[in-house]
Amino acid sequence: MRPSTLQYLYLQKPLTSLIIISVISSVCWIGMSDFYTKGEPREASAAQSMLNDNQWILPEIYADEIAYKPPFTHWAMAVFSLPQGKVTPFTSRLPSAIAFIVLICSSFIFFGKHLKIQNALLICLILLTSFELHRAAITSRVDMMLTSLIVYGLIQLFNWEERKKLKGFPLAIPFILGLATLVKGPVGIVLPLLVAGIYFLVLRYNFLKITSKFLLIVLAALILPAVWYLFAYLTGGKEFLDLVYAENFGRFFGSENLNIQYDLGHRESFGYNFITLAGGFIPWTLFLFISLFGLNYCKKIPNIKTIKQKLSTLSKIELFALLAALIIILFYCIPVSKRSVYLMPAYPFIAVFMARYILYVTEYHPKVGRIFGFIIGFIAFLVVFIAVATVFHKIDPVEITGLFTQHTKTLNDVAATVQNLHFNFLFFILFLFLICTLFILFKNLLKKNHIKVLYATIAVYITLFVALDGTFLPAFKNGVSIKPFAKQIQKKYPLDENNMFVMNNLLEYSNMYGLNFYLKNRFHNFEKEQSPEGYFFVGKESFEKVLKKYGKTYQFRFLEEYMNKNRDGERIIQLYHFMQIKGQEKIIESKEMEKRACEKGSRNHPLIEEQ
């Protein structure tokens, strides 16, 4: 009997299947939704600065604020934006989506050569469906690019030892690590070499040999970053050095008294990483939790000798994966600053053992897989019911949400999503596919082929988040986006590249990165430029501070305010027109001249002599 197209792809072309699934789950949806957090527009504004102002070395992302991270990801965003001449959510998220596809494909090729194809395929399906990786794949941030480069660098380091026993000089490795450094700094070199170095020591390579080899790799890997750092220093001077120190050493060691105008934040306890790992691997965390009730606990707890024996039986690839996972997790437990995305380079290596365990449980404890499949199927069915009932106005999700919480922001988010959710052809197709996969899953639950139940469950989960990414997520993001406000004020007021001003000190004020992006990254620093006239954007709560400081020298005329639903800036954003009060121009100019003279440190400066 001739297999169907889907069966053929799965059985004969697993890599092709993974590419198709990766594209469908990422690239297809990244252009449908606006920005709604501060992180995405902040990164996208760097690419805007490159295209609009030709600032390819040290782009400005908000008024006079320079980008926090090295520019490789921003370069990619700008290059993808060149054909249409502007940066959009699609072009700014595309580097992350491509990096995700590369991560999946390179992981399958690598693990497929050293493990069974079924194991390698399941590893990649775990990565494809993991919440943290999927979220990063459709987001305009630097983390997925860094993850892909670090993992690929580790793969090349493993292959160098496997094929050449550390002989010769691997040109690809320093190039990859150099690019990783241009994404997020020295960690792009330090982390892969730390993992590989410990792995090589476990394999009993000489320490001095490893050190000498790595020294050459580090020197070669630093060539590209060093060129950028040099030009960036010549452009940004001490401000750039302060930023580099804060973002790399300040975050890692929790240094105080950093010469920057923002709080590094993300200070978390040691256990935070393990909690985020559990959340990041959803839905597989649920599978692992269910399996705890199906294991045999009558066996003896293994002692140190037994553990050593089991470790000695690990293959080289399993040993490498174990060390990589442990070292990356422990490495990121050291810094005071912790975020869930930092752990993403460990995901492919953790997935090696998760896939092995899941296949074991599926074969020897099939009830676990069936319960897991039933739960995922029930959740998917519930989503279908809610989605269909909502678009045909049979239920009111806001009213239902109100039964569980009276939190205003939550209710507003639900209301914004419902308002933007409509029945159309895309909605019909996506949920039709979800219903079809649900039918296949429940059909297989009635049969005894346990592995088919597992893959049918994965199919349901993939179609579920694809359906959500194509319908609910754009409805939510577009419903809370600040883009409509940006369009509205551009039509009403003569805003241009020279007359829009904001306060830019994150220690005192909230920055409005989304609004800045949708106004084409044209904000100026009010305090530094002291313009005689212009338009001023500020949070309502912050305006009192501004008025106390500048109320005597400027007259502010209120124009309008916007109830901000975004995850960016204050709750209420206000727009003012300001004018310098007559008679204050010379005073301000004199103070500025005196300040510049003092900075130069010259007692005989002509400007001071005039005063």
Provide CB contacts within 8 A for 319, sequence distance 6+: 199, 202, 311
How far lies 18's CA from each of 148, 331, 460, 512, 539, in Å?
A: 16, 30, 15, 38, 46
Question: pLDDT digits over 344-395, tens only?
Answer: 999 999 999 999 999 999 999 999 999 999 999 999 999 999 999 999 999 9
Token pair recorded at residue 376: 């995922």
Q: Which of 224-233, 265-274, 412-421, 554-563 has the lowest mean pLDDT?
A: 265-274
∠ at Cα 544 (538, 548), nearest 5°?
A: 115
Token pair recorded at residue 505: 């000190």
Asked whether 525 and 62 are in contact (CB, 8 A), the reply is no
Q: Write the DSSP symbol of residue 579.
A: E
Q: What percent of the chain has pLDDT over 90?
A: 79
Other CB atoms within a 10 A radius of the CB of residue 314 amount to 12
Q: Is the pLDDT of residue 32 over 80?
A: yes
Token pair recorded at residue 301: 């707890």
- pLDDT on residue 606: 34
Asked whether 48 and 62 are in contact (CB, 8 A), the reply is no
Question: pTM of the entire structure?
Answer: 0.91
∠ at Cα 373 (370, 378), nearest 5°?
A: 125
Confidence of residue 604 (pLDDT cuts 50, 70, 90): very low
* Residue carrying structure tokens 């009010």: 526
The burial class, CB within 10 Å (0-12 / 13-18 / 19+), for 442 is middle
Provide CB contacts within 8 A for 464, sequence distance 6+: 376, 379, 380, 383, 434
**Amino acid code (one letter) for 510:** S
Overall size of the chain counted in residues? 611
Asked whether 141 and 184 are in contact (CB, 8 A), the reply is no
∠ at Cα 464 (460, 468), nearest 5°?
A: 175
CA-closest candidate to residue 177, choices 198, 199, 208, 146 = 146
Confidence of residue 4 (pLDDT cuts 50, 70, 90): low
How far lies 339's CA from each of 153, 272, 286, 584, 591, in Å?
A: 22, 8, 22, 47, 43
The burial class, CB within 10 Å (0-12 / 13-18 / 19+), for 83 is exposed
Question: pLDDT digits over 459-518, tens only?
Answer: 999 999 999 999 999 999 999 999 999 999 999 999 999 999 999 998 899 999 999 999
Question: pLDDT digits over 538-549, tens only?
Answer: 999 999 999 999
Half-sphere exposure in the Cβ direction for 168 (13 Å, CA): 12
Q: What percent of the chain has pLDDT over 70?
A: 91
Question: pLDDT digits over 104-147, tens only?
Answer: 999 999 999 999 999 999 999 999 999 999 999 999 999 999 99
Q: Which of 193-202, 478-487, 495-504, 584-593 has the lowest mean pLDDT?
A: 584-593
Q: What is the mean pLDDT of the chain?
A: 90
Q: Which residues pair with 534 in a beta bridge?
A: 578
How far lies 399's CA from each of 414, 415, 422, 563, in Å?
A: 10, 9, 18, 22
Dihedral class, residue 464 (left if φ above 0, else alpha if ψ from -120 to 50, else beta): alpha
- The C-alpha atoms of residue 38 and residue 59 are separated, in whole angstroms, by 17
